[in-house]
């Protein structure tokens, strides 16, 4: 292997170890207690080496946030292709919910990090880049919603209703997962998350609805619909 390429690979591998270590520490201790020194110690490198990769702890956090959003973007891309080419119409919804709800602790951590970075105006350019990725994900989902509404498979509402509902459902599910108020009520957190995901995947689905048998045989109009 060319020495220059090998050097680049080692640099990138070390950078990923820094990101992995930072995430581990954040999940263990919370964002208020993690220091660059702790990250360096976890990776077994000097503090100065960290700054060869990242100019600040905030940049490390922003990379984690953007990698998380890019990972969702990649899953959505594959899911949309499966929906269009293989007819798996629920694939995009499943990809969204599974990506965000697979690890509620990580999703909640990233929500807090983003809010604090925005509030303190620490990395406005990187936040703009993050939001551009997220908006692209939303647009991809909205196009799926619009096609499914045209096909008569989803209830017709503005497409952003669905994306907004997905977002709200995940936010609520993540908070519920960590809620101390519900800790005595919820016996199976993982099962509950699976149930919420299943509800989310089928929101607005009218593809399986059929008119009541009586309306077909007697010609009388069906009763009022609530969907």
DSSP state of 221: P
Q: Shortest CA distance to 109 belongs to which of 164, 28, 40?
A: 28
Counting residues of the chain whose pLDDT is more than 90, the rounded percentage is 81
Q: Shortest CA distance to 203 belongs to which of 90, 95, 114?
A: 90
Mean pLDDT, residues 148-165 taken together: 94
Cα dihedral across residues 100, 103, 105, 110: positive or negative? negative
List the structure tokens of 167. 């977002």
Say yes or no: 193 and 161 in one domain: yes
Q: Distance between CA atoms of 181 and 39, rounded to whole angstroms? A: 33
Q: Are 177 and 113 in contact (CB under 8 A)?
A: no
Please report whether residue 61 resides in a domain. Answer: yes
Please report whether residue 227 resides in a domain. Answer: no
Helices within the chain (DSSP H only): 3-29, 36-43, 47-53, 57-85, 91-101, 104-119, 124-150, 159-178, 189-201, 213-218
Indicate the residue among 54, 72, 91 that finishes a domain: 54
**C-alpha torsion angle, residues 90, 95, 96, 100 (rounded to 10):** 140
Q: Are 154 and 208 in contact (CB under 8 A)?
A: no
List the structure tokens of 27. 């999940």
Q: What is the reported pLDDT for 35? A: 96
Q: What is the pLDDT of residues 89-115, one digit of tens each?
A: 899 999 999 999 999 999 999 999 999
Please report whether residue 121 resides in a domain. Answer: yes
Q: What is the pLDDT of residues 19-47, one digit of tens each?
A: 999 999 999 999 999 999 999 999 999 99
Q: Shortest CA distance to 61 belongs to which of 10, 122, 133?
A: 122
Q: What is the reported pLDDT for 217? A: 46
Say yes or no: 164 and 87 in one domain: yes
Q: Distance between CA atoms of 109 and 105, rounded to whole angstroms? A: 6
User: In this structure, how many other beta carbons lie within 10 angstroms of the beta carbon of residue 8?
Assistant: 11
Q: What is the pLDDT of residues 111-150, one digit of tens each?
A: 999 999 999 999 999 999 999 999 999 999 999 999 999 9
Q: Distance between CA atoms of 110 and 174, rounded to whole angstroms? A: 11
Say yes or no: 106 and 11 in one domain: no
Q: Which domain holds residue 69?
A: 56-207
Say yes or no: 148 and 202 in one domain: yes
Please report whether residue 225 resides in a domain. Answer: no
- Domain of 16, CATH number, reads 1.10.10.60
Confidence label for 1 from pLDDT (cuts 50, 70 and 90): low
Q: What is the reported pLDDT for 157? A: 97
Q: What is the reported pLDDT for 183? A: 86
Please report whether residue 65 resides in a domain. Answer: yes
How many domains are contained in the chain? 2
Q: Distance between CA atoms of 81 and 91, rounded to whole angstroms? A: 9
Counting residues of the chain whose pLDDT is more than 70, the rounded percentage is 91
Position 222 pLDDT exceeds 90:
no
- Domain of 87, CATH number, reads 1.10.357.10
């Amino acid at each position: 292997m060319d020495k220059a390429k090998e050097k680049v690979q080692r640099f990138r591998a070390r950078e990923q170890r820094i990101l992995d270590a930072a995430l581990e520490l954040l999940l263990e201790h919370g964002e208020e207690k993690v220091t660059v020194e702790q990250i360096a110690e976890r990776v077994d490198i000097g503090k100065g080496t960290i700054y060869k990769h990242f100019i600040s702890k905030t940049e490390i956090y922003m990379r984690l946030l953007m990698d998380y959003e890019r990972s969702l973007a990649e899953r959505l891309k594959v899911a949309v292709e499966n929906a269009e080419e293989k007819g798996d119409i629920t694939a995009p919804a499943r990809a969204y919910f599974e990506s965000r709800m697979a690890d509620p602790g990580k999703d909640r951590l990233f929500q807090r990090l983003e809010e604090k970075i925005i509030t303190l105006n620490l990395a406005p350019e990187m936040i703009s880049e993050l939001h551009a990725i997220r908006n692209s994900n939303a647009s991809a989902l909205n196009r799926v919603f619009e096609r499914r509404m045209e096909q008569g498979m989803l209830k017709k509402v503005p497409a952003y209703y669905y994306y907004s509902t997905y977002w709200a459902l995940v936010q609520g599910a993540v908070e519920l997962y960590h809620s101390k108020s519900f800790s005595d009520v919820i016996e199976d957190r993982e099962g509950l998350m699976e149930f919420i995901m299943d509800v989310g995947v089928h929101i607005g689905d009218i593809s399986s609805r059929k008119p009541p048998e009586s309306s077909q045989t007697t010609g009388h109009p069906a009763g009022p619909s609530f969907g």
